[in-house]
């Protein structure tokens, strides 16, 4: 398996009013393999969108590094930076806000084609119409404006825009959260189909655990700026190691109660603490049903507790 993206000890802190520091992402390490979908889940505010935005250079890093195909993305310049800007694309959560309302669908989709000088005139139009067909729309849609489309159609336009520059890697930040449940599966199935056809790699950010399992090869779980567990999606859902993952999964309905193990619902006490003053040691300790003395004193190491199954929790120290 080829590692296409490698994130090492990534930290992203923001300074807010009064000079306080929000530790939005604090020491996250993971690899993404070419052609896979890595799901990233967690409650809102856990830092998953911040990771997505840092990977694609919308944010700089506070510490640590992001390597894409072996190169530190935050040090790219010139030709290599232009290539990166093509190879990595993003699909946004809100298909209502992410498309310029004054641009036609044609110009929205062709924006990257124009920026990178990939085609012009009749060839440009031809490419956009091909892309519309790829995402299940057609030529008649090209000269209309975003407000004339439904949410699901707009997300298809967003996907076509991302595909227009023939990317290798797509970050999808809650691409279906704003859509009706009946439309969500359509968009996810379209993404899966395109991945197969074009060999795309996805980072799929979401809070809906059942949809993430369906689309992802592997899933990472975030809590308060930390990645707490990462494993193959079947493995993670059947054999969660981290107490936070256990609690999250205990709230997911079991699709077939006859075959699946029954799970006891774990209700977590209290609220997620502030990323301005996170708890010492393990950040989950204030809510963890299994917290021990060491959990307040030492930050649990990120380690491969079982083959291809990573976790950060003192329960898994020898």
Residues that bind ligand SF4 (CB under 6 A): 242-243, 282, 284-285, 288, 290-292, 295, 300, 313-315
Considering the complex, what minimum distance in angstroms separates the CB of residue 134 from ligand SF4? 44
Please state the closest distance from residue 15 (CB atom) to Mg ion, in A. 20
Our CA angle for 6, 7, 13, nearest 5°, is 160
Q: Does 54 bind Mg ion (CB under 5 A)?
A: no
Which listed option, ligand SF4, Mg ion, none, makes contact with residue 172 (CB within 5 to 8 Å by class)? none
CB 292 within 8 A of CB 316: no
Name the residue nearer to ligand SF4 (CB basis): 210 or 317: 317
How far apart (Å, rounded) are the C-alpha atoms in residues 242 and 315? 8
Q: Output 51 or 194, the one with its CB closest to Mg ion.
A: 51
Least CB distance from residue 232 to ligand SF4, whole Å?
A: 21
Quote the CA–CA distance of 115 and 122 in Å, as a whole number: 17
Residue nearest to Mg ion (CB): 49
Question: Quick one: what does residue 248 bind among Mg ion, ligand SF4, none, with the CB cut-off 5 to 8 Å set by partner type?
Answer: none
Tell me the two tokens of residue 223.
């809590």
Q: Which among Mg ion, ligand SF4, none contacts residue 193 (Cβ within 5 to 8 A by kind)? A: none
- 292 is in the binding site of which of ligand SF4, Mg ion, none (Cβ under 5 to 8 A by kind)? ligand SF4
Shortest Å, Cβ 246 to ligand SF4:
10
Side-by-side strand order, sheet with 88-91: 88-91, 169-173, 201-206, 37-41, 218-223, 226-232, 309-312, 302-306
In the chain, what's the furthest Cα-to-Cα distance? Answer: 68
**CB neighbours of residue 202 within 10 Å:** 24
Closest CA relative to residue 266, chosen from 242, 249, 253, 282:
249
In 3D space, the residue among 174, 307, 300 whose CA is nearest the CA of residue 243 turns out to be 300
- Taking the least distance from each CB to ligand SF4, the nearer of 42 and 52 is 42
Q: How far is the CB of 60 from ligand SF4 (least distance, A)?
A: 29
| CA pair distance 111, 97, nearest whole angstrom | 16
User: From the list Mg ion, ligand SF4, none, which binds 315 (C-beta under 5 to 8 Å, kind-based)?
Assistant: ligand SF4
Distance of CA 317 to the CA centre of its chain: 29
Does position 98 interact with Mg ion (CB under 5 A)? The reply is no
Half-sphere exposure of residue 92, counting CA atoms within 13 Å on the CB side? 14
**Beta carbon nearer to Mg ion, 49 or 153:** 49
Is residue 49 within the footprint of Mg ion (CB under 5 A)? yes
Decide the pairing of beta strands 201-206 and 37-41: parallel
Q: Tell me whether residue 196 or residue 290 sits nearer to ligand SF4 (CB atom).
A: 290
- Residue 295 interacts with which of Mg ion, ligand SF4, none, CB < 5 to 8 Å by class: ligand SF4
| Interface residues toward Mg ion, by CB under 5 A | 49
């Amino acid at each position: 398996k080829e590692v296409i993206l490698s994130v090492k000890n990534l930290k992203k802190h923001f300074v807010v009013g009064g000079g306080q520091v929000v530790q939005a992402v604090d020491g996250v390490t993971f690899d993404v393999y070419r052609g896979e979908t890595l799901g990233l889940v967690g409650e809102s505010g856990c830092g998953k969108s911040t990771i997505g935005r840092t990977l694609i250079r919308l944010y700089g890093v506070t510490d640590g590094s992001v390597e894409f195909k072996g190169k530190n993305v935050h040090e790219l310049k010139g030709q290599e930076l232009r290539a990166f800007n093509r190879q990595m694309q993003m699909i946004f959560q809100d298909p209502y806000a992410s498309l310029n309302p004054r641009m036609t669908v044609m110009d929205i989709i062709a924006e990257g084609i124009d920026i990178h000088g990939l085609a012009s005139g009749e060839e440009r139009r031809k490419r956009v119409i091909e892309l519309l067909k790829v995402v299940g729309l057609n030529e008649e849609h090209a000269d209309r404006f975003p407000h004339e489309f439904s949410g699901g159609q707009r997300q298809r336009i967003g996907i076509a825009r991302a595909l227009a520059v023939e990317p290798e890697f797509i970050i999808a930040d809650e691409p279906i959260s704003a859509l009706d449940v009946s439309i969500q599966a359509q968009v996810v199935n379209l993404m899966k189909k395109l991945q197969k056809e074009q060999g795309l790699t996805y980072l799929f950010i979401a809070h809906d655990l059942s949809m993430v399992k369906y689309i992802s090869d592997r899933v990472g779980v975030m809590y308060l700026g930390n990645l707490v567990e990462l494993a193959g999606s079947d493995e993670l859902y059947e054999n969660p190691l981290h107490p936070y993952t256990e609690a999250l999964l205990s709230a997911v309905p079991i699709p077939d109660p006859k075959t699946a193990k029954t799970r006891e619902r774990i209700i977590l006490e209290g609220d997620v603490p502030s990323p301005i003053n996170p708890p010492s040691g393990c950040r989950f300790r204030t809510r963890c049903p299994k917290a021990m003395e060491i959990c307040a004193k030492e930050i649990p190491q990120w380690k491969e507790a079982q083959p291809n199954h990573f976790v950060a929790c003192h329960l898994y120290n020898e």
